[in-house]
Chain A
């Protein structure tokens, strides 16, 4: 087995990521679970850097490790009366869930290991973000993939996503608003 720096880094990050993910699910204290989530997001950012997607990694740190976890912690603070032990209780069927997860995870790992990928050989119209990242790096390429009207871009789903956000805001206001008497 060929060992280089990148694969060592990958395994270190992967172990941290899986361990922290397990902590998110298994911690009985919900604040500890939320804090472990920061580690998960950070480790995912590390994986993105290994894949040459620096911009996504930075966005991951800014939005997920920064904003989203703060939001989650605020939500816990405002809704939970006690933040002590057993604030994240288990369902009585946890062993069944664990069994299904292990079977499903094993199945997927087996499937991925025993399958041929057509990536790279397909006559795909999509350029991966990493390709052609000469001048400007992946940021330029990502921008083109999102907005460009002149070459293959995901401009339609991007615009639909803005309507999705609007609907979410309208809904949040409608449900959260005080009753007018």
Chain B
């Protein structure tokens, strides 16, 4: 750890910093021009700058990459870079998919809309790359406050206002629980630096910390705080209402961004910060039980939904359950195999969910409706959107040979390898995957087999078509080049363990 701030450390911060500056630029540009297309183009093409900085860090373009900066609060490991790229993809997908919809349904200026998304993305990127509890908390707030604003964006819609107020109240409560957990952890270990926490926990003279109840309470509280963000049962109640009430592009952003950022921080705290490896600390049992309830409840209730956004909310709860199975596998023996499964799953989930929501946004944009029965005959009314969305839903359901299937297989395999403790969870996960096929295929069946009441072609905005095309290309590329993804993600997963 360097003892003072140097100019190289700003290179480490440059991806996040340039996203924030892009947010300022877009906000300011709005004053000068009223052309929506120009502002949107600047926001989307401007993402090239942070992407360039992230690539320069990944390839050590300007010399060796600093391992940490700002007194260990910013980390330059592969894990940080993985999430930087992932959130840049999220920003790109969300902004591109929402162009037509934002113009038609949201009475806000584009500068405000895109800058809020960009600030949130900067927060998400920081959540993956900080190694200190206070910074993680502030980054979480930078992520969440724009999400509350986005939930209430359709100001003429009372459901949107309801979603926003619910999200603010529950978000504030979960943040408070998270902070309480952080305070208890600080009380035991005497530091907020995750590297130092790991050192305290693993050092021999602190064997006293094994089974330390206060540390356990701190870890549980932090898990609960993040449990809200990743919508794990029983902290999931907000998700369906808020997914339904918020404008559809914002729902897309919640379902991919908030979840991935929550998992990024959980893995950072529990694996890098060593909280999962305290002996005599059976956190993995709690995580396994929560995983079991989360995936079962999410998938079973998704069967009953009539609104596509509510269905996707419960589907995303189910997906969070699969991710928690991976987390339990990581925690039981502190192995990198589970992390590998989790990161791969997240990468595939982000790309497929952007595609699936592009379909929902396309339909909502063209018809203003968002019930599952409105998808009747979409295969004839808009073949490309229906095809792309079908492909994404099949990947989410985990139908082989798609990337969604392989990443899920990796998670279950990692859990299976941990021995008899998690076998029941894997079996339950497989049962859940079977349930999930029903509701995903139901939408497919309606799109391709049911005769629509109206047969007119839908006019889908070009930006939604483009998002769909890019997601389809992304899914096919991930499926074909799954091995390449695994090698890159493998180094990221291992980098969580190397500093110890």
Contact = CB atoms under 8 A, between A and B. Distances in A.
A118 to B, nearest CB: 5
Given A157-B135, A157-B138, A115 B188 contact: yes
A119 B190 contact: yes
A163 B189 CA distance: 29
B20 interface: yes
B108 interface: yes
B139 A160 contact: yes
B217 interface: yes
B22 to A, nearest CB: 12
Nearest to A107: B217
Contact of A171 (B107, B149, B188): B149
A48 to B, nearest CB: 15
Given A149-B4, A167-B116, A118 B190 contact: yes
A153 B1 CA distance: 13
Nearest to B141: A164
Interface residues of B, number: 61
A152 interface: yes
B112 A170 contact: yes
Interface in B189-242: 189-193, 196, 199-200, 205-206, 208-209, 212-217
Nearest to B132: A157
B161 to A, nearest CB: 9
Given A122-B189, A125-B1, A151-B4, A168 B145 contact: yes
A167 B149 contact: yes
Contacts of A123: 196, 199-200
Interface string A110-144: 11101111111111111000000000000000000
A155 B27 contact: no
A179 B20 CA distance: 28
A168 B119 CA distance: 11
A171 B148 CA distance: 9
B192 A115 contact: no
Nearest to A166: B119
A108 B220 CA distance: 11
Contact of B73 (A116, A122, A157): A157
A101 interface: no
A153 B134 CA distance: 12
Most A-side CB within 10 Å, residue of B134, B138, B208: B138
Contact of A125 (B193, B216, B217): B193
A36 B217 CA distance: 29
B192 A126 contact: yes
Contacts of B123: 160
A97 B27 CA distance: 44
A112 B217 CA distance: 9
B71 A153 contact: yes
A137 B234 CA distance: 46
B199 A115 contact: no
Contacts of A155: 5, 70
Contacts of A110: 213
A120 to B, nearest CB: 6
Contact of B116 (A117, A153, A161, A171): A171
Nearest to B217: A111
Interface string A12-38: 000000000000000000000000000
Interface in B118-159: 119-120, 122-123, 126, 130, 132, 134-135, 137-139, 141-142, 145-146, 148-149, 152-153, 155-156
Contact of B122 (A112, A161, A163): A163
Contacts of B217: 107-108, 111
A161 B138 contact: yes
A74 to B, nearest CB: 19
B187 interface: yes
A117 B71 contact: no
B74 interface: yes
Contacts of A150: 3-5
A156 interface: yes
9 contacts: A112-B187, A114-B213, A116-B188, A121-B190, A126-B191, A150-B4, A157-B132, A161-B138, A175-B149
Given A156-B74, A170-B115, 12 more contacts: A111-B217, A112-B214, A115-B215, A118-B200, A119-B187, A119-B189, A120-B190, A122-B189, A152-B3, A156-B13, A167-B146, A167-B149
